[in-house]
Amino acid sequence: MKMKGYAMLGIGKTGWIEKEIPACGPLDAIVKPIAVSPCTSDVHTVWEGAIGDRKDMILGHEAVGEIVEVGALVKDLKVGDKVIVPAITPDWGSLEAQGGYSMHSGGMLAGWKFSNFKDGVFAEYFHVNEADANLARLPEGIDPASAVMLSDMVPTGFHGAELAGVEYGDSVCVIGIGPVGLMSVAAASLKGAGRLFAVGSRPNCVEAAKAYGATDIINYKNGDIVAQIMDLTGGKGVDKVIVAGGDNDTFIQAITMLKPGGRIGNVNYLGSGDYVRVPRIEWGCGMGHKTIAGGLMPGGRLRMEKLVSLMQYGRLDTSRLLTHRFKGFEHMEEALMLMKDKPKDLIKPVVVL
């Protein structure tokens, strides 16, 4: 049986295609989406060719859906269950997962399957490997559109704060306050950051950053962000930096604004260029104890269950990320183009089906 999906046809080209409905393995599930959201990563993939060419690959890795089929060995989930689908769906038996890096199960970044080397979620149906380990039930009372932010924006943004090792009272700078960076602001705030700088320019994002806990806003369009941070900190800099926007040269700024002993947590997807440069003097001539950690978000059920509990118990409200809501798959292209063009009033679009 055939289904429709919105696909990358080649670098720079997207459109609707028809494919076979995916088959369900014994540990797997087939899911019908209820709400999906396009991601800046889809834009890197299609228009920058960041992971190389892909032909007729269905896009999308952010979804909440309903299970329509489960494999014979699936224990905890059944047909009709509503589930949150993480963007990263590791192979939990792999050695990388056993080593604590499930997102790299099977090779670097290979826990990222949807819209990378397997069809994604912008389709009438999609396949989820290891359903018991990779899907979390959507709790009653949580809006599916808000819950889609748990697929990627929340776990990625929160991972930025984990990678930076934010501790009580730290001064933190979050560079980039699109939906990912906003969730880094929320995470740094929950982890107890003291002074919390947020770097961005879109007015909606700035307002959201304040609501999520930013104490100071830095507009990178108003001059060098390092100079602005140094000015505001009496020349000392910050304890931690989370990078969720900018480009390869943003690392030069992040290292420069960091205090000795500080950590950078990067979740930005560097879509082009060959090298990231480290400034020698500002890195303490190699002796500054300034650590750079960069990582793909962890996926899987346990993390989704923990993160959704933050929404259930009122500690995190993702609904303010949703600036553009659409009804029906016919709006998929419009929603993706918003992510590509980033109009001033955009934080994140969602398509409810």
User: What are the residues binding Zn ion (CB under 5 A)?
Assistant: 39, 41, 152
Residue 205 binds to ligand NDP (criterion: CB under 6 A): yes
Query: What single letter denotes the amino acid at residue 308?
Result: V
Nearer to ligand NDP, 105 or 156 (CB): 156
Does 60 bind ligand NDP (CB under 6 A)? Our answer is: no
CB of 25 vs Zn ion, minimal distance in Å: 24
Provide Rg for the chain, Cα atoms. 20
User: Which C-beta is closer to Zn ion: that of 256 or that of 323?
Assistant: 323
Stretch that binds ligand NDP, among 14-22, 200-208, 228-236, 329-337 (CB under 6 A): 200-208
- What six digits make up the tokens of 64? 């909440």
Q: Which does 121 bind (CB under 5 to 8 A by kind): Zn ion, ligand NDP, none?
A: none
One-letter amino acid for residue 220 of the chain: Y
H-run or E-run covering 145: helix 144-147
Give the C-alpha separation, 244 to 250, whole Å: 10
**CB 103 within 8 Å of CB 88:** yes
Asked if 201 touches ligand NDP (CB under 6 A), the answer is: yes
CB of 252 to ligand NDP, least distance (A): 11
> Binding string, 227-256, against ligand NDP, x = CB under 6 A?
-----------------xxx---x------
Site membership for ligand NDP, residue 86 (CB under 6 A): no
* 164, two tokens: 């930076």
Rounded to whole angstroms, the Cα distance separating 155 from 236 reads 30
Contacts of 255 (CB under 8 A, 6+ apart): 264, 278, 279, 282, 283, 290, 292
The answer to whether residue 268 forms part of the interface with ligand NDP (CB under 6 A) is yes
335 binds, among Zn ion, ligand NDP, none (CB under 5 to 8 A by kind): none
Residue 348 tokens read as: 């994140």
Local structure of residue 26 (DSSP, 8 states): T
CA nearest neighbour of 112 among 62, 49, 159, 76: 62
Per-residue contact string for residues 26-45; x = within reach of ligand NDP by CB under 6 A: -------------xxx--x-
17 or 37, CB closer to ligand NDP?
37
